[in-house]
A and B are shown apart, each in its own frame.
Chain A
């Protein structure tokens, strides 16, 4: 190799060395960032752990059959959460029967049928996104003005459940749209190319393929609604209900009962509140776990 060639090679080598060094600097930055991410995670986990341990310590001694069979009582020895548990289940049923079909229907329409670039459709989409950011107490005020007083439903379980459903709509609509969008267009084209109508393709192919995602979003939306308190206080969920609630009776739900018990002076009620929190947590974790299981079980590779 001649001198010029050697110089050229050295230059090239230098350039490579520099570029490799540059990568090392970046990897230091990456390490710092990774550390920060780990720290954030640990902070979150510790907070959650402390909360869980405290709740379990306080609540486990009170977590007995009476909690599920008895009604609330001024006597902490006999107090239970049965009406609140029943009401929470009823709320979930109403959500499944009302908000869920409306949300999925909206998502299917917007994603599969709505004309693209239509002003009205754009406005609706914008509104749905904004609705997701509305504070829950505002939904409570709407429920109070429109359902409880406007339609004169009164402070009944149905009114509360409907307002929770309204609050849940944007979450489920957005999640369902994501799920529908994840179904590749090739599936729709394949169906249409066989002479199927758009409706047949949506009903037989796209929707079934999107069901896991829709279900995941729906369950997450529902579990948030089940844990919600503020809008229900607004629409008059009673704090003391000693009978089994129906759709058109007064009611209280678990989060409100917990709130009520914690305010009471007797020490035992604090324990009962902690026990009720455990029940609520188990329900929510079970719902979320089911959503995760469902997502993994039906996850598809396209």
Chain B
């Protein structure tokens, strides 16, 4: 971008030097504020207000007010059909890819409206990576899997280093360093999922969204991924959808409980019931529906 024209009508996503936390000004300082700071006082990465989703006019989720703080793990829990996966896909505009899906309400990312018409969803997804329920490595080599993101985004310098760093960050390097040129589909399920996490890390995102990342994995792989999530919070903000309440209890700083409301017309719709620090959600929730769920009496 031409540095002389930055004060004029530059699109908000790439505007350099704007004093407010524009997406492009996101820097190391933003990320490293963590440690002993109470989670509620950490920077707000996502500020969602009245977020809802409709699929072909049918409402699947409504009125979600939720703040997601930096350098922490936020878990979204709740019964099937409560809209937690739908919600997480609002955060990197993956719902754009589903025909007939419409998002309403406001999602602010570092203060910027994610759904502003000027925002390019491609730019959003560069910064907000996603890991899916089923490991989905590309049918090519381990190296090429990690290199895909940097290559399409033009981050081609020192690609080898970048791949190595991403694999190390995802705690996979030692297992695959001697077979980087081998096919990724030959890895075990747990390794594939860590590869997918490494792939997301290789493009230097700010946030990692994980949609039930362990539901297809055995307990040992699950534990490896959970350790990884915890270690990622020093640099990244992690949001995870999980069916597994113990998992939320183990890894999450904040937990949001979603549930299903049956409207007057009988239509089922997901709602956010309660969000709080994880220990409070599991020991002393404010809402009785949350309590019923976490104690196993419902769902």
> Are A and B bound to each other?
yes
Residues of A within 8 A of B (CB): 116-117, 184, 186-187, 189-197, 200, 204-205, 208-209, 300-302
B122: chain A residues within 8 A (beta carbon): 195-197
A209: chain B residues within 8 A (beta carbon): 138-139
The docked-state distance in angstroms from the alpha carbon of A268 to that of B94 is 70
Cross-chain contact A195 with B126 (CB below 8 angstroms): yes
What 5 A-B pairs have minimum CB-CB distances, sorted nearest first? A195-B126, A186-B136, A193-B130, A194-B149, A196-B152
A208: chain B residues within 8 A (beta carbon): 139-140
- The residue of chain A having its C-beta at the shortest distance from the C-beta of B131 within the complex is A193
Known: A195-B123, A195-B153; 7 extra A-B contacts, CB below 8 A, are A186-B136, A187-B139, A190-B132, A192-B125, A193-B129, A205-B138, A209-B139
Does B191 make an interface contact (CB < 8 A)? no
- The stretch from B3-11, B47-55, B196-204, B247-255 touching chain A is B196-204
A302: chain B residues within 8 A (beta carbon): 139, 185
Cross-chain contact A189 with B139 (CB below 8 angstroms): no
The docked-state distance in angstroms from the alpha carbon of A301 to that of B187 is 13
Cross-chain contact A189 with B152 (CB below 8 angstroms): no
Cross-chain contact B148 with A204 (CB below 8 angstroms): yes
Pick from A186, A196, A205: contact of B132, CB under 8 Å: A186
Pick from A184, A205, A300: contact of B148, CB under 8 Å: A205
The docked-state distance in angstroms from the alpha carbon of A300 to that of B139 is 8
Contacts A195-B125, A195-B203 given; indicate if A190 touches B138 (C-beta within 8 A): yes
With a 10 A CB-CB cut-off, give which of A116, A196, A300 has the most chain B CB atoms.
A196
Cross-chain contact A193 with B92 (CB below 8 angstroms): yes
Interface string of B64-94 (1 = CB under 8 A from A): 0000000000000000000000000000101
Cross-chain contact B148 with A189 (CB below 8 angstroms): no
Cross-chain contact B200 with A194 (CB below 8 angstroms): yes
A191: chain B residues within 8 A (beta carbon): 138, 148, 152
Pick from B99, B129, B136: contact of A189, CB under 8 Å: B136
Q: How far is the CB of B245 from chain A (nearest CB, A)?
A: 26
The DSSP consensus for interface residues of chain B is helix
Does B134 make an interface contact (CB < 8 A)? yes
- The residue of chain A having its C-beta at the shortest distance from the C-beta of B94 within the complex is A193
The docked-state distance in angstroms from the alpha carbon of A205 to that of B140 is 9
Q: How far is the CB of B61 from chain A (nearest CB, A)?
A: 19
Cross-chain contact B97 with A192 (CB below 8 angstroms): yes
Question: How many residues in B have their beta carbons less than 8 Å from beta carbons of A?
Answer: 29
Pick from B125, B134, B140: contact of A193, CB under 8 Å: B125
A116: chain B residues within 8 A (beta carbon): 99
The docked-state distance in angstroms from the alpha carbon of A208 to that of B141 is 13
Cross-chain contact A200 with B196 (CB below 8 angstroms): no
- The residue of chain B having its C-beta at the shortest distance from the C-beta of A184 within the complex is B136
Contacts A197-B122, A300-B185 given; indicate if A190 touches B152 (C-beta within 8 A): no
- The residue of chain A having its C-beta at the shortest distance from the C-beta of B130 within the complex is A193
- The residue of chain A having its C-beta at the shortest distance from the C-beta of B202 within the complex is A194
A-B pairs with beta carbons under 8 Å apart, 5 shown: A186-B136, A190-B199, A194-B148, A195-B124, A208-B139
Cross-chain contact B136 with A190 (CB below 8 angstroms): yes
- The residue of chain B having its C-beta at the shortest distance from the C-beta of A183 within the complex is B139
Residues of B175-232 at the interface with A, using a CB-CB cut-off of 8 Å, are 185, 196, 199-200, 203
Q: How far is the CB of A274 from chain B (nearest CB, A)?
A: 45
Cross-chain contact B148 with A196 (CB below 8 angstroms): yes
The docked-state distance in angstroms from the alpha carbon of A192 to that of B148 is 11
B137: chain A residues within 8 A (beta carbon): 190
Pick from B126, B127, B185: contact of A301, CB under 8 Å: B185
A204: chain B residues within 8 A (beta carbon): 148, 151-152
Interface string of B267-298 (1 = CB under 8 A from A): 00000000000000000000000000000000
Q: How far is the CB of B236 from chain A (nearest CB, A)?
A: 15
Pick from A187, A200, A301: contact of B136, CB under 8 Å: A187
Q: How far is the CB of B291 from chain A (nearest CB, A)?
A: 35
Cross-chain contact B97 with A195 (CB below 8 angstroms): no
Cross-chain contact A200 with B129 (CB below 8 angstroms): no
B124: chain A residues within 8 A (beta carbon): 195
Cross-chain contact B152 with A187 (CB below 8 angstroms): no
Q: How far is the CB of B183 from chain A (nearest CB, A)?
A: 9
Cross-chain contact B138 with A194 (CB below 8 angstroms): no
The docked-state distance in angstroms from the alpha carbon of A200 to that of B203 is 15
The docked-state distance in angstroms from the alpha carbon of A195 to that of B97 is 13
